Amino acid sequence: MGRRYRGKLPKEPIEMFIEDLSHDGRGVAKWNDKVVFVQNALPGERVMATLNRKTRNYNEALATEVLESSADRVEPRCEFYTTCNGCSMMHLKEERQIDFKFNTLKSNFHKIAHVEPAAWLEPLTDSHWHYRRRARLSVKWVAPKEKVLVGFREKNGRFVANMDHCHVLEPVLAELIKPLQALFLKMDIKAFIPQVECSVGEHAVSLIIRHMKPLVGNDLALLRDFANDHQLHIFLQSKGPDTVVPLEPYEQSLNFRLNEYGLNYEFLPNDFIQVNSRMNEKMIKQALQAMDINENDVILDLFCGLGNFTLPMAQQAASVVGVEGDQKLVERARHNASLNDLNNAAFHVADLTKDHLNSSWFNQPYSKVLIDPPRSGAWEILPLVAQTSATTLVYVSCHPASLARDAERLVNEFGFKCTKAGVMDMFPHTSHVESMAIFTRQ
């Protein structure tokens, strides 16, 4: 992020012509020979924009009036869109949003990887609405107004958006915003609750309530009543992630299903799972089709998490080895394999930024590899992947720049060929680009 520089910005809106879209979905204009990133603006538009931030290299602004509108502009469904940072592209037609994401991926391949896939995959899309089964919502007690805000941060990041519903959260979560505001308003420690983390399972909804002061008797009673009234699993978090504890024992675990594969996954409320359940199923199906698994395959699944890809691959392969750096996720993956009677899936804990040439899990022949790394990519583990006998590599990415950087290395250093690549609309109405690339070698 660019450093702020002193000096007064003009208070009056400035007319700007929008030339392009940035990687995060903001319009790109120029003012006084300096690049300006303009929220709520599209290429080809002429807007009045208010400058709200300046750095040495660029300025930032918000379009307050559209003088000449793009044919791709639509009226955002959400009344909080101009202030809430939960979404950034709701003013752009749905079909153009996925075009933007595809062009972002393509641009990264050309500029960073200098690689052209042999073919581009058709984008994977689904409903743009009520898709988020997980969210971290901020909480803020506003004393002068005797009000508690619960929602995403504002676009400037400094405040919590004043919202009472949401069109991208799953309905059961969207309908909790107002009740949560009313609950926290009654609590004695309302000024010391900064966030609530929400997760939707098949049969239960969980809330992790972060509290910076101990909960007293009255507050605990309020939480128990709220959990019973709304049929929730409530967890409390006093400090870091390791301090998450249930408000009271719950007989039923949180779970989600992959219906096409008949698989059931159990997870804890702070475990990583894919935010968009419908897109997750489509992504898994595309990955498995690309791998063309047969009953003799031995597959390595790196950054396997709680077994999202591992278990459906194990249904089709001779065996699958999943490797993950988070001990607790590995424990959950083992539990889920057992839960689904899959005894050909083995899991190991390993820091995949380190050398594992002599690790026990690496010392067997693999025919195919799948990797699903974090935003930082898989740079450190690529030499290990190259030393396997795998002929197919499926790379699932949540950051197109790190995918492109790794693709360049896979192709030019390790002799793979990029046969296909494409995008998946995991986060509609945002600039987040989820993608998949398939690499092969003889």
Q: For position 277, what pLDDT does the model report?
A: 97
Reply yes or no on whether 398 is catalytic.
yes
Residue type for 120, please?
W
Q: Find the catalytic residue in 198, 304, 398, 418.
A: 398
Q: How far apart are CA 99 and CA 344, in angstroms?
A: 40
Instruction: Tell me whether the CATH fold assigned to 14-73 matches the one assigned to 134-200+205-251.
Output: yes
Residues composing the chain: 442
* Buried residues in 118-157 as b, exposed as e (16+ CB within 10 A): eeebebbbbebeebbbbbebbbbbeeeeeebbbbbbbbee
Token couple for 53: 């931030």
Token couple for 345: 């899936």
Alpha helices (runs of H) in 167-321, residue ranges in sequence order: 171-174, 177-186, 217-230, 277-291, 310-314
**Main-chain phi, psi angles of 312, to 5 degrees:** -65, -30
pLDDT in tens, 382-392: 999 999 999 99
DSSP state of 169: B
Secondary structure (DSSP) of 175-207: TTHHHHHHHHHH-TTGGG--EEEEEE-SS-EEE
Tell me the CATH number for domain 134-200+205-251. 2.40.50.1070
Annotated binding residues for [4Fe-4S] cluster, as ranges? 78, 84, 87, 166
Tell me the CATH number for domain 14-73. 2.40.50.140
Tell me the CATH number for domain 99-127+272-440. 3.40.50.150
Which residue from 371, 381, 363, 320 is spatially nearest to 345, judged by alpha carbons?
A: 320
Tell me whether residue 315 is exposed, middle or buried, using C-beta atoms within 10 angstroms of its C-beta: 0 to 12, 13 to 18, 19 or more.
Answer: middle
Strand segments (E) across 216-340: 232-237, 244-246, 254-258, 263-267, 298-302, 319-324
> Tens place of pLDDT for every residue, the chain, 442 residues?
445 455 677 889 999 999 999 988 899 999 988 999 999 999 999 999 999 888 889 999 999 999 999 999 999 999 999 899 999 999 999 999 999 999 999 999 999 999 999 999 999 999 999 999 999 999 999 999 999 999 999 987 789 999 999 999 999 999 999 999 999 999 999 999 999 999 999 999 999 999 999 998 899 999 999 999 999 999 999 999 999 999 999 988 899 999 999 999 999 999 999 999 999 999 999 999 999 999 999 999 999 999 999 999 999 999 999 999 999 999 999 999 999 999 999 999 999 999 898 899 998 999 999 999 999 999 999 999 999 999 999 999 999 999 999 999 999 999 999 999 999 999 999 999 999 999 999 7
Q: For position 216, what pLDDT does the model report?
A: 85
Annotated binding residues, as ranges? 78, 84, 87, 166, 274, 303, 308, 324, 351, 372
Q: Are 288 and 301 in contact (CB under 8 A)?
A: no
Domain ranges of the chain: 14-73, 99-127+272-440, 134-200+205-251
Please indicate, yes or no, whether the overall pTM of this predicted structure exceeds 0.85.
yes
Q: For position 1, what pLDDT does the model report?
A: 43
Which residues make Cβ contacts (< 8 Å) with residue 433, sequence separation at least 6?
101, 104, 105, 398, 399, 400, 423
pLDDT in tens, 77-134: 999 998 999 999 999 999 999 999 999 999 999 999 999 999 999 999 999 999 999 9
Secondary structure (DSSP) of 403-418: HHHHHHHHHHTT--EE
The separation between the first and the last C-alpha atoms of the chain, rounded to the nearest angstrom, is 43
